[in-house]
Structure 1
Amino acid sequence: MDNEGVSAESQQQRVEVEALEPSEPPEALRIDDQPAPFPVNTTGFYQLDWDLVSGASDGYVVEERQQGVVGDACEWQYDEDSDYCAYRVSSGQSWYISNRSHGKYWYRVRACNDSSQGCGDPSVAYSLDVETEKPRAPEGFTVVPEHQGFDITGNYSLSWNPVTIEPKPRYYEVRASADGSEAPEDWPKLPHNSLETEYPMPESMAPGSYSYWLNACNHKGCTESGEILTVDVLPPALLSTGLDTECGSECLRVSGNGLDPSSIFTVTDIQSGAQQELHPDTVGWQAPTEEDPTTYAWLPLDTSMVEALNSGEGLHIAVQNANGERAAINAYGDETVAKLSQVDSAPAVGADGTIYVGSGNQVYALNRKMVPWSRAGPSPLAAGQGHAHGGFGQRQYLCRLSGRQPLRSYAPGLGTVASGNR
């Protein structure tokens, strides 16, 4: 209506209204100003933040999921079909998180506006590991010899059970000491920072006693209550020899300690110097038992070595372990000679002039004919110019019958090799 009271229809205008679209999600998330992948948190306190999203007029929704926790435990969920708990952030682009327990968490953020949907799609979900507790100590720490059941001669591995319950380790730490004199915390670390539950020694260990301390570790630290394991590496020692037919032909049975199927035997004819090196696969073995802690090996001999064994000069049996340690013993076909060859003590003279060699219940006396030696029991020697002598092969003994002079053992042609006031 104009000023004169005349009404007229106004011109119509077309207006189009577009529905407000939900906001786009934040492009990146940060924790304590660090972009993903996030470093491990060891306190349970941290801050999540993100860049401003244009048009996010109604704030943001932070969604959090904890490994092993279902959505039913949440106070509020934006997406009820997920296991994410939701938290409203009305202003700003950050959310302070506190008192989170040990575990793994995932985070994503939605930007919100006045659209009918309210909030848009979530951002990419990023994970964070929170380690507020040290792992449990591993159990079952043990040594695994290269050859089960035999003495430990240098080649072995360390083994343990994995920690399978929370808090789990990120790696296992093994520390070693060769003498055990230092505190375990000061022992040097072995190059094993992984989740492998076995550590083979990188080289064959020399004889001695070795202690190892095993712990499980994560970013919070390492357990300090792990087991300590002591491993004794034995040197080879040959104790006795004897003929046997265990091999189906002539064999030499050797007993000893610190031996295993990796030990290499070499047999030498003492008289000729000829040698026979035995391949480990040809040697028969018997491991120590609770009743008998001795290791036995059966050495198959060539015909020539069998003849040398029984010829009187005998055989020289040498053994070498993987760590380079050696031992040796002489073997003789005559049992009496074999026993005497293993006597290392200096001789002693009795009141009646008898020479005794050995100790304990392994004592022998030299008879009038010099050879062979007989079991302990009075067996006087014929004296000449105030002394007595006798023996076998390279083992000869000389003493003064008065007992006031040192007893001496000597090898003919080589001079005195040992003496003692017995």
Structure 2
Amino acid sequence: MSATSSPRHVASYYAASANPSPSRPALEGEIRCDVCVVGAGFTGISSALHLAEKGLKVVVLEAARVGFGASGRNGGQIVNSYSRDMDVIEAKYGAETARALGDMPFEGNRIIRERVAQYDIQCDLKDGNLFAACNAKQFKGLIEHKALWERFGHDRLELLEGRDCRREVGTQRYVGALVDHAGGHLHPLNLVLGQAAAFESLGGVIHEQTPVTELVHGELVRLHTPRGVVSAERVVLAGNAYMHKLIPQLEGKAMPCGTQIVTTEPLDETVARELLPNDMAVEDCNYLLDYFRLSADRRLIYGGGVNYGGQDPASIEGVIRPKLEATFPRLKGVRIDYAWSGNFLLTLNRLPQFGVLNGNVYYAQGYSGHGVTCSHLAGRLIAEVMNGRNERFDAFAGLPHLPFPGGRMLRVPLSALGAWYYRVRDILGV
């Protein structure tokens, strides 16, 4: 599944503070199951858990460890909706598509909370996130954003302007904010580990260190691994940015992108309260956005930027520290204890790719930065379509997906050029 395998998670704060989790043995020999899931991140484990709850025999194959990819490395923010919001969907794809997708943009959040409660998952779940405006144009956009979400039934929103914004974020950087009281944040690796344990408690099987080297389509799909073979009636491909050529039809229609995160030393309680008085998660409204929150032990987790193509910068701290200190000058010189990067999968229209190959191989990927919530929705929809309810899955599967301009050679520089254009607009506030 993955281009590279590793017996360990990257050296992140999440890995260092993860709940105990067993090492699962690699697959050896031949086995058969109802459904084989490739990838043990949010999409794969969410799908596997939903399917196991329906009594199916499910096997998960993971090239590295559970939560090795974006699911165990992201900012941990529960942000509602999709990476493209409902007004864009309606304008580009019509009212019928907007109505179908408009019933689901807040469901992934609810699924996460249901899982945490049902299976008693210890993942430091906290309520509240906000979108911060860096200029007047962005604040006007937040006013429109609030009206749009309320049109689709989401009413737990609050606008803050000027001084009121500093009630939630102790910085002079923002002119206003939109608080989503239904959003939140959590320890993402512990969330996926907790769901994996729930899946195994229902009889599910996970094989780590088991990359899929070949997928042979047929009425019974055969998935070859280095030391074994799985025969399955149906398959879920859930590797996202860490999928390796198992869906060649989509290779040019999605692009891995890297984002970087640092975590500070534990902060004094007074300092932490001054930075984020009500412990909200924050993301700004820039095209290349910054995002941050406090951990359970009062560290500031701060991320930002995008590397198109997924390459790591020479120094993650060198990229992120200036952003962190610009937002919170009082943290100038603060010790950085962890710095890491990870890839997410970007689509041209910023909407996820759902589909079915040969009638029995399902895939969901390309959440374009909104994977925490949308991946959990994907798992439920995959379980629905396998149970004969295809309307909601098909609403996503019917979205057109075009290749990135310039092909594989030029898509990275062209995307970077476009990002530079929007960054300049953010700086100028136009």
Measured against the shorter chain, the TM-score band is: under 0.3
Bigger radius of gyration among the two: 1
Flag the structure with higher strand content. Answer: 1
Normalised by the size of structure 1, how large is the TM-score? 0.18
TM-score by length of 2: 0.18
The structure with the greater share of residues assigned to helix is 2
